[in-house]
Each structure stands twice: as structure tokens, then as C-alpha cells.
Structure 1
Amino acid sequence: MSKRRKKDEDHVDESWLIPYADILTLLLALFIVLFAASEIDAQKFKQISDSFNSELQGGKNILDHEAAVETVIPQELIKQEEARNSDISMEQDFKELSELQEKIEGYIEEKGFSPRLQTTLTSKGLVLKITEGILFPPGGANISAEPRKVAQEISNLLVTDLPREILIEGHTDNVPSHSIEYPTNWELSTARAINFMKVLLENQDLKPQNFSATGYSEYRPIATNNTAKGRAENRRVEVLILPYQKPN
């Protein structure tokens, strides 16, 4: 009898290990959640807090609760998605420029302005080329009544849903300008670009901050200056409608 009593006394009661293991599990889960809490908002943190309160009051194991931590998306996947969306935007932009070109071509055909007005869709944007006889007299930069009407009609065609930048470029042939008002082709080409832009901006639907004008004199020819036909080709104003660019 005494030996059995001694054996029972030597046996250590291990029932305390069960709550101790539960406490360790809760502490481990707590540290994990606290670490993840830096990536979640206050609402999510409240959900986690409620879960712990439920556990401490006898609820289910905390690991059985629905995960409250938001999934962190790798930056590389985000960049790939942004690039994909950018490609879609470029496709849509090219389509809209093509539609704008068709609208301008319809106007040119209706008015019988071909080939004095021409459009070209390039990687830089949509180009509208206007030869000298449409807007300006030889050697001049003033826009009279009939050409002004044409310029106003063109301004209506330039109104688009997206706020595109539009560049107005003036060009001449290599025949020197000796007038008092335009002593060189630099002044002549620049004056033509600016005067045409001013008429366009009489349209209240166009934003002046999206426009710019410049003159290139004789230095960007598209044909030879050795023939009358080539010089006529070089005396022109070009309207460059740029692809849409998101504001910074």
C-alpha cells in the first residue's frame, strides 16, 4: 500500500499543459496578426480584434476564423496590369484618331478641297496639311473672309472628347521674303502659323492651353524647291493632332 502511494506521489500532474499550449497558440497567432496589421486598415483590424475577443470568451479556435488580412499583390503584377491597361488605351486612342481622320476626310471631299487639304495618320499623331492657296495669298500671312470661313470649319473638326495637344506649323519654300512686314521666311512662316491658330481659337470649345504655333521657314521641305510644283507643296501650314496624354 505504501509503495503504491509513493508511486502516485511521484507522478506529476500534466493537466496544465493543455491551457498552456492554447495560450502559446494564441500568442503566436497574435504576433502574426500584429505583424500583418501594418498592411490593413482600421476596419480590418477591428475584425481581427473582434475575433480575439470571441476566442478569449470561449469561441472557436482563432485559426478557424475567416482571414482578415488583405492579400498583398506583388508589385510586378501591378506593373503588368498597368502596362496592359496602357496598351488598351493606346489602341482606343489610335481608333479615335482614325475616326477623326475619317471625319476630316469627309469634310475635304464634301468641299472639294483635295488635294489642297490632306490628312496623314503617323506615329506622331494625325497631320492635316493645308496648302498656301487655301488660307493665304502668295507672300502673305493675313487670312481674308473666305479663308477665315474655312479655318472656322476646320476648328469645329478639331473639337474632340479627349483634350489633345495641337501643334500649328508654318512652312515656306526657299524663295526669300523681302517685304517690310516679313523680311525673312522665318517671320512669314511664323506669322502664318500664329494667324491661323488665332482663328481656330475663336472657337470656344477649343482650349488655348492645348495649342502652340511655330514657324520652320524653308528648312523642312516635303518636296523639291527646284520646280514650281515642289515649291507650292512646301508652302503650307500643318496641323499636328497629338495622341492623348494623361495630365501629370
Structure 2
Amino acid sequence: MSRLFPLGPFVLIGLLVGCTTAREPVGRKARSPDSLRAENARLQDKNRALRDSLQLRRDIETGQYYRELRILHDQINRLTYEVRQLRDGGMTVALLSVDTLFKSAGTTLSEGGTKRLRALARHLQSTYPNRTVRIEGHTDDTPLGDSLQERFPSNWELSAARATTVVRQLLDLTSLDRSQFVALGYGSTRPRASNDTARGRQRNRRVRVAVLPLPKDYSRPFETTW
């Protein structure tokens, strides 16, 4: 006949410890939900990096990587060119000498100047119908004579008046919209040559006609095909 012995307090403690050990290994702490989420995010980032690396390798093997790189280089070159054009005031279409464009160094167009602007108007109309046209007036640093001082306080105002005269004439000779024209007067602030010689002063008395690049939406995704 078997006997039943009552369980002592030490036996009960041992059983409880054993059950606890089976549920949670000794020395390993339970991880919090925040820790698990952080680990999951890290593994997802690593997975994405591996996928990108595999995609890059496939693109290199198929030549797609080099095609896209060439497209990006072309985009950068075009942007650099257009930024340079905007910084320099556009692409020069014509440099017109004031001495042949106006009568007696004033603001009235000469017969030869009108003829020159008529040819320029045809060129702008056929080649740059959608561009912004920039007209700049420039002078040398010679102070204005008495007759001109009665109308213009300085070379600055004189250069602006000449630019607007050219704008009005080009508006009459083309179907371009008024909003496509910009007139500026620089006076003698941007000389092309030295004002110490007659030849240099003649070069500085000029009207510059330029066109600006067409506006573009550079937020669009880059093209990835030719």
C-alpha cells in the first residue's frame, strides 16, 4: 500500500519556480512593445536597403542605370545653361549701336535704325514667338549735353528711354504680346569697353536685345526613356 505524504513548503516553492522557468528562460527579460516596434522598423529599413541594392545591381546589368545617369547629366547641363542665361539676362539676339539706331544721340529712331528693327522684329516673330524679350539700354559715361539734360536728368534715364523706344517699335512690328517685353536702362554701369577712348565709348552706347529661356516645371519627375 502506497502512502501519501503531505507536500512540504519547500516542494511547493520548487514547483512554482519550475513553472516560472518553463515560461520565461532564466536571464532573458521580456521585451516591451516599443522595443519590438523599433526592431521591426529597423528590419524593414534593412529590407528596403537590400531591395534597393538588388534593384541597382539589376539596373547596372541591364544598362538602365547608365541610361538614367546620362539623362540626369543632361538635365543638370540644361539647368546650368538656363541658370547662366537668366543670370546674364538671357541669350543675346542683337547688339544695336545707338549711333546708328537713333538720330543725334537722342531717342528718335533714324531711318537706318527703323530698318534694322524691322528685320529684328521678323526674326523675333519667327524664331522666338513665345519668349520673353529683354531690351537693355546702355550709354557711355559722358555727361549729357544741355539739350538732353532738359529731358533726362542723367544717362540712366536716357538709356531707359531708348530701351522703351525700341520696345514700342517692336510691338508695332510684331504680334508679340506686351507682357513678353521687358525694358531696362543701365546707363553707364555696364560698359563693354573702356570709356577712355572714342572707340570704347561708341561700343558702350548700345541697345541689347535678348530672349529669356521658356519657363519650365522642374518639379516633374525626370524622364527615364529616350
TM-score (norm 2): 0.54
Q: Is the 8 Å Cα contact of residues 171 and 220 (structure 1) preserved in structure 2?
A: yes
> Do structure 1's residue 128 and structure 2's residue 99 form an aligned pair?
no
- Amino acid aligned to 2:141: N
Q: Report what 2:195 is aligned to.
A: 225
1:144 Cα deviation (Å)? Answer: 3.1
Q: Is the 8 Å Cα contact of residues 103 and 110 (structure 2) preserved in structure 1?
A: no
Q: Report what 1:144 is aligned to.
A: 110
Q: Report what 2:176 is aligned to.
A: 206
1:240 Cα deviation (Å)? Answer: 1.3
Q: Is the 8 Å Cα contact of residues 129 and 176 (structure 2) preserved in structure 1?
A: no
Secondary structure of the structure 1 residue equivalent to 2:208: strand
Q: Report what 1:187 is aligned to.
A: 157
Q: CA 1:127/1:153 → structure 2, altered by over 3 Å: closer, same or farther?
A: closer
- Amino acid aligned to 1:216: Y
Q: Is the 8 Å Cα contact of residues 162 and 244 (structure 1) preserved in structure 2?
A: no
> Do structure 1's residue 166 and structure 2's residue 136 form an aligned pair?
no
Structure 1 unmatched ranges of 5 or more: 1-76, 95-121
Q: Report what 2:211 is aligned to.
A: 241
Secondary structure of the structure 2 residue equivalent to 1:187: helix
> Do structure 1's residue 87 and structure 2's residue 75 form an aligned pair?
yes
Distance 1:125 1:185 in 2: 25
1:133 Cα deviation (Å)? Answer: 2.4
How many residue pairs get aligned? The number is: 142
Moved over 4 A (4+): 83-86, 88-91
Q: Report what 2:186 is aligned to.
A: 216
- Amino acid aligned to 1:174: D
1:203 Cα deviation (Å)? Answer: 2.5
1:146 Cα deviation (Å)? Answer: 3.5
Compare relative contact order (CA 8 Å, sep 6+) and give the higher one, 1 or 2: 2
1:152 Cα deviation (Å)? Answer: 1.6
When Rg is computed on C-alpha atoms for both structures, the one with the higher figure is 2
- Amino acid aligned to 2:190: R
- Amino acid aligned to 2:185: G
TM-score (norm 1): 0.49
Q: CA 1:146/1:247 → structure 2, altered by over 3 Å: closer, same or farther?
A: farther
Q: Is the 8 Å Cα contact of residues 169 and 214 (structure 1) preserved in structure 2?
A: yes
Q: Is the 8 Å Cα contact of residues 107 and 162 (structure 2) preserved in structure 1?
A: yes
Secondary structure of the structure 2 residue equivalent to 1:163: coil
> Do structure 1's residue 176 and structure 2's residue 143 form an aligned pair?
yes
